[in-house]
Structure 1
Amino acid sequence: MDTTLPPLPSLALVTFLVRDYDEAADFFTGALGFELVEDTDRGNGARWVVVRPRGAAGGGLLLARAEGEAQGAAVGAQAGGRVGFFLHTDDFARDHARMSAAGVRFLEEPRHEPYGSVAVFEDLYGNRWDLLQPAASA
């Protein structure tokens, strides 16, 4: 009996609520070094804006302008105050220095844990992220 499972579908995009398309795209491409994958006008002021880490094979963030009070309240609180996003790097010192120079606000000094080098930072809205170099790539 063949117990090999077929490959699972891949995660393509995660919606990331923003106040403004341009300020968010500028932050992700400038301060974090992401690439702008798509920016398509959808009419009536709506756009389809996708960013992802430069060189990533897939996956990305769909920057979605918040509409209404409930979505507006979720901007900056997408993970309820917890670290909700994890940005892996193969060179922690390089990326920490580059991001710091670009104005990214780190909430702590870098830590070196058994699982890797890590520091928590905030995006332009206050969502918390880990910049992490896993121990396997150190």
Structure 2
Amino acid sequence: MSDFAAGRSVATVTLVVADYDAAIRWYVDRAGFALTSDVDLGGGKRWVTVEPAGGGARLLLARAEGAKQIASIGSQTGGRVAFFLETDDFAHDHATMLARGVEFREAPRHEPYGTVAVFADLYGNLWDLIQLKH
């Protein structure tokens, strides 16, 4: 039993990007996310979030500043799959994403937990498009 509130959830995850507008275009136009906020914070900073149409955690698209952050663009998890985009219609979403120019790194495969294929975002971060078995 937890001492914490039952309503807690991971709501937003930061993704370091090179350019706000390029990242927005890729996530909205290619991956099918919705732009949920784009607020000018002054000094060249913006609060930019996108989220999948079905909900779930938002991505905060944070423009890299400084050599350390710039070096992490595209490899925030050292080359491992960083994010998991769940779908209830893998075949449809896979075909749509391919048609929109998303680069899949493998053919879809069937695993005991579901159907999955790895794709890369515009910076090379790896994602799983996955339809879980229920």
Structure 2 match to 1:45: 44
User: Residue 8 and residue 98 in structure 1: after superposition, are their counterparts in 2 closer, same or farther (change >3 A)?
Assistant: same
Give 5+ residue unaligned stretches, structure 2.
none
- State the alpha-carbon separation in 1 of the partners of residues 54 and 117 from structure 2: 22
- State the alpha-carbon separation in 1 of the partners of residues 10 and 114 from structure 2: 24
Q: CA RMSD in A?
A: 1.3
- State the alpha-carbon separation in 2 of the partners of residues 4 and 97 from structure 1: 42
Return the letter of the residue paired with 1:121: F
Query: What is the percent sequence identity of the aligned residues?
Result: 57
Give 5+ residue unaligned stretches, structure 1.
none
Structure 2 match to 1:101: 99
- Give the TM-score of the pair, scaled to structure 1: 0.92
User: Residue 109 and residue 43 in structure 1: after superposition, are their counterparts in 2 closer, same or farther (change >3 A)?
Assistant: same
- State the alpha-carbon separation in 1 of the partners of residues 40 and 69 from structure 2: 21
- Give the TM-score of the pair, scaled to structure 2: 0.95
Cα offset, 1:59, TM superposition = 2.2
Tell me the secondary structure at the aligned position of residue 106 of structure 2. Answer: coil
User: Residue 45 and residue 91 in structure 1: after superposition, are their counterparts in 2 closer, same or farther (change >3 A)?
Assistant: same
Q: Which moved more, 1:5-14 or 1:28-37?
A: 5-14
Cα offset, 1:35, TM superposition = 0.4
- State the alpha-carbon separation in 1 of the partners of residues 81 and 10 from structure 2: 19
What stretches of structure 1 move > 3 A for 4+ residues in a row?
3-6
1:81-136 deviation per Cα after TM superposition (whole angstroms, max 9, x unaligned): 00110000000000000000010000110001111000000000001100000011
Return the letter of the residue paired with 1:18: V
| Match 2:72 to one of 69, 74, 78 | 74
- State the alpha-carbon separation in 1 of the partners of residues 79 and 122 from structure 2: 14
Q: Which has the larger radius of gyration?
A: 1
How many aligned positions are there? 133
- State the alpha-carbon separation in 2 of the partners of residues 124 and 71 from structure 1: 16
Cα offset, 1:10, TM superposition = 1.6
